[in-house]
Chains A and B, each alone.
Chain A
Amino acid sequence: DIQMTQSPSSLSASVGDRVTFTCRASQNIGSYLNWYQQKPGKVPKLLICAASSLQSGVPSRFTGSGSGTDFTLTISSLQPEDFATYFCQQSFSLTPTFGQGTKVEIK
């Protein structure tokens, strides 16, 4: 299976901060990388597919980039509703795998 490693596991930030976290694949997955946001007690929500394509309705402060093995998700100006856990997921193989998540907490 393709292993997905996210870093950091958690981070503390303030409203208005620019935050970036990463996702690394154990092999080349091209742009077959998706990002999900999960708020406590809620269902995961698809934010970005194909590494950089923002889903309809997702604010433009979210940006995804990368290809191959290294990917990043950037929030340009953190808002109160963005405090959540973010998961990356590869769809390159027939057996998709998720990263362990990055939890964004309020500083």
Chain B
Amino acid sequence: QVQLVESGGGFVKPGGSLRLSCAASGFSFSDNSMNWIRQAPGKGLEWISYITSSGSNTYYADSAKGRFTISRDNAKNSLFLQMNSLRAEDTAMYYCARTRAYSYGVNAFDIWGRGTMVTVSS
């Protein structure tokens, strides 16, 4: 079945780094744009980053620019998020999500993984 499985979360000190991974299965990963979205404990959803199907274009929220890097390996059906210079406010559940293009050019996040928790604390 269609599935996204994140990994790589954990505890890290402020200023540290983590690399998140997302393994895709059940669909043609290389044909789909992908995203990272996060949710701080008890808070709302925040889109972090987007990558096109080929990996040639990437976009970031202001909160991630200069610190986070999204990438993908289509041969391995995998999505990544390299997070550097982590701050306490980066503490959140990190989800990978597929972008699906609907009619009239509307995009939405139609498939979500279960998330991986990142905790930044000294």
Complex CA gap A91/B97 in Å reads 14
B112→A31 contact, CB < 8 A: no
In-complex Cβ contact of B59 among A87, A91, A94 (8 A): A94
Complex CA gap A32/B61 in Å reads 18
- Kindly list chain A residues whose C-beta atoms are within 8 Å of the C-beta of B62: 1
- Kindly list chain A residues whose C-beta atoms are within 8 Å of the C-beta of B112: 43-45
Q: Give the A interface residue count (CB, 8 A).
A: 25
- Kindly list chain B residues whose C-beta atoms are within 8 Å of the C-beta of A100: 44
- Kindly list chain B residues whose C-beta atoms are within 8 Å of the C-beta of A31: 104, 106
B110→A87 contact, CB < 8 A: no
- Kindly list chain B residues whose C-beta atoms are within 8 Å of the C-beta of A45: 112
Find residues 5-45 in chain A having any chain B CB closer than 8 Å to their own CB.
31-32, 34, 36, 38, 43-45
- Kindly list chain B residues whose C-beta atoms are within 8 Å of the C-beta of A36: 45, 109
- Kindly list chain A residues whose C-beta atoms are within 8 Å of the C-beta of B105: 32
B106→A49 contact, CB < 8 A: yes
In this complex, what residue of A is CB-closest to B4?
Answer: A43
In-complex Cβ contact of B114 among A43, A94, A101 (8 A): A43
- Jot down 12 A-B pairs with beta carbons below 8 A, ordered by A: A32-B105, A36-B109, A43-B113, A44-B112, A49-B106, A53-B102, A55-B110, A87-B44, A91-B107, A94-B59, A95-B47, A99-B44
Give B contacts to A, CB under 8 Å: 44-47, 50, 59-62, 95, 102-110, 112-115
